[in-house]
Amino acid sequence: MKAVTIKTAVKSWPVEGAFTISRGSRTEAVVVEVHVCGGGITGKGECVPYPRYGESVEGVCLQIAQAAMELNGMPDRSLLQKLVPAGAARNGLDCALWDYEAKSCGRRVWDVAGLPVPEPVYTAYTLSLDSAEAMGNKARANAHRPVLKVKLGGEGDMERIRAVHANAPSARLIIDANEAWTVEQYIRLAPQLAEQGVALVEQPLPASDDAGLGSIERPVPVCADESCHDRATLAELAGRYDAINIKLDKTGGVTEALALCAEAKERGFIIMVGCMLGSSLSMAAAHLVAQQASFIDIDGPLLLAADQDCPLQYEGSLVHPPRPELWG
C-alpha cells in the first residue's frame, strides 16, 4: 500500500431557517471533513462532532491527528478500528479510507465492499420541533413525501402529532423525542400515536433510563438511537427496543455500521439508518448502509441552505446513489 497523508478541514453549512430538537436549535451544521491523500488520489469523509456524546470539533480533529500518526502513512481500515473508539472521529477517517481505496483501484465502493449495486432509496423528511400550528403548516407543505420524521419535546406533543397527521394524512410518521419523555408518557401516548399514522418512536426515554421499556407493552415499535452506538451496545437493547438507528457518527464509520447492521438483523432488530445534520458527503456513505434498512433518514442536505459542489441527487424524497466525484 502507498503511504498517505491525512488532513482535516472544519466546514460550516448554513441551515435553511433553523433546526430545533428537544435539546435546542441550530442555524448551522459544523462538520469535520477528512482527506486521505496519496498517489494523486484524495479520499474524502465527513463527520459531525456531537456534544451529546462529549465530542467537540477540536477534540475530533485531535483524535484524527493522533490516529494519523499511529497509522504512520498506512491506509489501513482494520487497524483504524483498533486505534480509535466508535464516534465521529473514526467515522470521518473510516469513510475517507473507503473512498480512497475505491478511487485507488478504480472501482465503486460497493464493489470493494462486496455489496450489490445500490438502488435509490426514499428518505424521511424531518419536521423541526415547533408549535403544533407551525408543524402542521410544514407538514402540509411536505404532504407529498411518503415519510415524515417529527421532532417532539414533551408538553404539547400529541397536539403536534395530530396537526402533522391532519395536514399530511398519507404520510407514514416517525417521531423522535430525543430522550425527552418518561415511561408514563409513552404508555399514555402510544395508543393514540398508532391512530395518527405513527410507525416508529425513536428514543423516547433518556439512554440512562431506558430499562423501563423492557417491562411495558410497545404498541408502536420503539427505536434505539442514543442508546445504540456499535455492536458492543446491542446486548443491553434486547427486550427494550424493537429497532435500532444506525448512524455512522455513532458507529465510527461504514466498517462498523455494516457489521452492526448484520448482527442486529440476526438478533431480530428492525433496521433504521439515520444521520446527523451534515452535507451530501455524510449522506453518501450512509446511503450505502441504508440499502439494508426498513426506515431511512438521510435528509440532511434537504435541511441545509448550501451543499457540496457535487451533491447527492434528491428527487423529492428519493435519494440516488452518490456519483464518484462525491464519494465512493
Catalytic residue among 103, 138, 151, 250: 151
Distance CA(36)–CA(97), nearest Å, equals 7
Distance CA(198)–CA(220), nearest Å, equals 7
Whose CA is closest to 170, among 134, 142, 201, 138?
A: 142
C-alpha cell at 74: 498506512
Output Rg (C-alpha) for the chain, integer angstroms.
Answer: 19
Q: What are the backbone dihedrals phi and psi of residue 15, each rounded to the nearest 5 degrees, phi first?
A: -85, 145
Contacts of 231 (CB under 8 A, 6+ apart): 256, 259, 260, 263
Distance CA(217)–CA(238), nearest Å, equals 14
C-alpha cell at 243: 429497532
Catalytic residue among 103, 138, 247, 250: 247
Strands 147-151 and 172-176: parallel
Neighbours of 188 (CB within 10 A): 12
247 is catalytic: yes
Distance CA(154)–CA(84), nearest Å, equals 36
Q: What are the backbone dihedrals phi and psi of residue 289, each rounded to the nearest 5 degrees, phi first?
A: -75, -30
C-alpha cell at 118: 445500490
Neighbours of 267 (CB within 10 A): 11
> Catalytic positions, please?
151, 247
